[in-house]
Amino acid sequence: MTARTRAIGVGRTRVPLGPVYGAMLAALYLPIAVLFIFSFNAGTSLSFPLVGFTLDWYEAVLGNGPMLDAARNSLIVGMASASVATTIGCLVAVAVLRFRFRGRGLLLAMAGLPLVVPFVVMGVAFFLLFVAIDVPRSLLTVTVGHSVIAIPYATLILLARLSGLDPALEDASMDLGASYPTTLRRIVLPLMAPTLLSAWLTCFIVSFDEIALAIFLVGGDPTFPVFLYGQLRFAQRLPVLIAMAVLLMIGTVVLTLIALRLRTDDP
């Protein structure tokens, strides 16, 4: 061993990783930076050089009733679908890890299936289903679709946490006379509370930003991504939409960081 600390790795590479990482970061964050810059542009044209600096577009967001209504719709759908997906994901995680029954692997596969099915395909499928059973499109149908696509995220997050929880705690509780539902309510769920909140926030973010399913399932009350997409054809409205998009992006990033912190801090 030399005094110099060696990096852990499997070998050398001729690929210039520094420029590759730089290009990857630029592809990820340059569009966001441009969006942020143009939200302060005094002009309505999305071109350089900027006309000037202004906060008027952020002020106009507060006076745009239809936009705020769309954001409220996304908030309602996101909260409802996150609650449903987190509940189902918790039940699947408990069933897969704590019980032995035929079809256990199939249940886990079905819970993760929405990750591999294109959202557009699922949107068409849900649309045809609701038409066939004569259910009008509304925020409720969007909530159903978003709950389904969020289940895999909740399931995977909760599976990881529950697999690290010592089953002896549950055995001890039941040895003392508690039923398994009581053990779940008073032992398991409190221990998993930070992870449950993290899973809920992740599902909320997935729902709030989703547009492919919402386009097929939304009725007369659009969610924010659908409203934003519909307003892009009006050039004069773009600065206000950009300002609102920046605010939502900041909110999404904050929620994501909170969810990651909860998962990191959960013992």
Chain segment 241-262, per-residue pLDDT in tens: 778 778 877 877 887 788 777 7
Is pLDDT of 77 > 80?
yes
pLDDT the model gives residue 1: 45
Ordered domains of the chain (ranges, CATH): 56-265 (1.10.3720.10)
Residue 263 pLDDT grade (very low, low, confident, very high; cuts 50, 70, 90): low
pLDDT the model gives residue 203: 92
| pTM of the predicted model as reported, rounded to 2 decimal places | 0.79
54 contact partners, CB below 8 Å, separation of at least 6: 40, 41, 42
Q: How far apart are CA 262 and CA 253, in angstroms?
A: 14
Is pLDDT of 89 > 90?
yes
Residue with the larger pLDDT of the pair 147 and 161? 147
pLDDT the model gives residue 29: 77
Percent of the chain topping pLDDT 70: 89
pLDDT the model gives residue 235: 63
Average pLDDT (110-134) is: 90
Tens digits of per-residue pLDDT, 138-159? 999 999 999 999 999 999 999 9
237 contact partners, CB below 8 Å, separation of at least 6: 231
Percent of the chain topping pLDDT 90: 24
pLDDT the model gives residue 56: 78
Is pLDDT of 5 > 70?
no
Residue 64 gets the label, from left (phi > 0), alpha (psi -120 to 50) or beta, of beta
Average pLDDT (2-11) is: 54
Residue 130 pLDDT grade (very low, low, confident, very high; cuts 50, 70, 90): very high
Residue with the larger pLDDT of the pair 96 and 229? 96
Q: What tokens does 90 get?
A: 């918790």
User: Can you say whether the dihedral through the CA atoms of 191, 90, 206, 220 is positive or negative?
Assistant: negative
Of 235, 229, 231, nearest to 212 by C-alpha is: 229
User: Taking all residues of the chain, what is their mean pLDDT, rounded to a whole number?
Assistant: 83
Q: Are 145 and 129 in contact (CB under 8 A)?
A: no
Dihedral angle, C-alpha 62, 65, 70, 74, nearest 10 °? 50
